[in-house]
Copies of this chain bind each other. A is one copy, B any other.
Amino acid sequence: MLAVTILGNNSAIPAFNRHPTAQVVQNNEQIFLIDCGEGTQLQMDRYKIRRSKINHIFISHLHGDHYFGLIGLLTSMGLLGRKTELHVYAPGLLRSIIEMQLQAAGAVLPYLLHFHPLVTEEAIFEDKTISVRCFNVTHRIECWGFLFKEKKNLRKINPQEVNRHNITATYFDKLHNREDYISPENSIIKNELLTLPMPLPKTYAYCADTLYDEQLIDKINNVDLLYHEATYLDDLKERAAKRFHSTTKEAALIAKKAGAKKLLLGHFSSMYESLDEFITEACSVFENTELALEGNCYII
C-alpha cells in the first residue's frame, strides 16, 4: 500500500495554522519523509508518525520552508538514542549547513548519517518494493522533484492451485515472472492456471516549488498521484511566474497533460485564509483534484 500523509501544506510563512512543507510517503512498513519545514517534528508528534520509522529523507531544495526543521529532527533522533543509519538526499550545500550546526553545538550524532547530494536525474533509492527517482524542476534555485514507483511481481501466486499441484515455494519467483511450471515428470502447467493478475504498481510524483513547466510532463507521465504546488490562485499568474511558482490552473494543466490519475495541490500562499477557490479553479481544468490538507492521508 502506497500512501501520502501531509504534515505541512503552506508556503514560506506559516499561517492559519498551516505549516511549511513536509509530507511522508508510506510504502507498507516503510516511511519516507519528503521535505522538512520548521516544526515538522512537532507535526510528526501530532499525527503519530514515529521519528524512528524514518530511514530516508528527501529534500527538494534549500528554501527554508522546505528544510529548516531538518536539523531539529536529526538532533532529536540522536537524543532519542537512534542507532539505525539515516539517509538524506538533498542539494549538496545542505551537508555543510548540517555539519556547521552540529559543530557549533559540539554534537556528534550517535548514528551514521549518509548524505547523498542530488546531482543528476537518476534513481536515488531502490529496494525490493519501491524505487525513488529524482528529477529537476524549475525554481529560483536548484530544486528537485521525486518519483516513487512501487515494484510488484507481475503475477501473484494462487495458493489453492499451487497446493493442489504440490508446487514448492522455491518455484514461486518463476511463477511471479509469468513462467510456466515444469513438473519433475516434465509435464507443463500453464502459468495462468497457477497465478492471479496483480494490481499495477502505483506511482507518486512530488513536484516541489516549480514554475509552470511542460518539461515536467515527460518525467511524470501517467502517474497515479501527482503532488504539484499551487502557491497562488490563477489571477496571480504573473506573480507566480515571477517567483517561479505555479497557480491552481497551471498545476491542473500539468496533471491533465501528463495523464495523471489524480492531483494533490499544496504549498498555498499565506495570502489565503480560505482554500475553497483553489479546489474550484483546479477542478475546472482537471477534475480529480484534492487539496493537500495537513493530517490527511491520501491512499494511492
Contact = CB atoms under 8 A, between A and B. Distances in A.
A42 B119 CA distance: 34
A140 B106 contact: yes
A283 interface: no
Contacts of A75: 12, 64, 68
A141 interface: yes
Nearest to A77: B13
A133 B141 CA distance: 41
Given A96-B100, A104-B94, A41 B64 contact: no
A14 B38 contact: no
A104 B97 contact: yes
Given A38-B39, A39-B42, A101-B97, A79 B141 contact: no
Interface string A75-105: 1100110000000000101101100110011
Interface in A5-63: 12-15, 19-20, 38-39, 41-42, 45, 62-63
B64 A72 contact: yes
Interface string A103-114: 011110000000
Interface in A110-143: 140-141
B106 A141 contact: yes
B14 A45 contact: yes
A273 to B, nearest CB: 13
A20 B38 CA distance: 13
Nearest to A102: B64
A216 to B, nearest CB: 22
A217 interface: no
Interface string A228-271: 00000000000000000000000000000000000000000000
A167 interface: no
Contacts of A62: 101, 104-105
Contacts of A14: 41-42, 45, 76
Nearest to A270: B79
A71 interface: yes
A13 B100 contact: no
A69 interface: yes
A97 B94 contact: no
The 10 closest A-B pairs by CB, nearest first: A62-B104, A38-B72, A39-B39, A93-B104, A13-B76, A68-B72, A106-B141, A64-B75, A63-B105, A12-B79
13 contacts: A12-B76, A13-B76, A38-B68, A38-B72, A39-B42, A64-B75, A65-B72, A68-B71, A68-B75, A94-B104, A100-B100, A106-B140, A106-B141
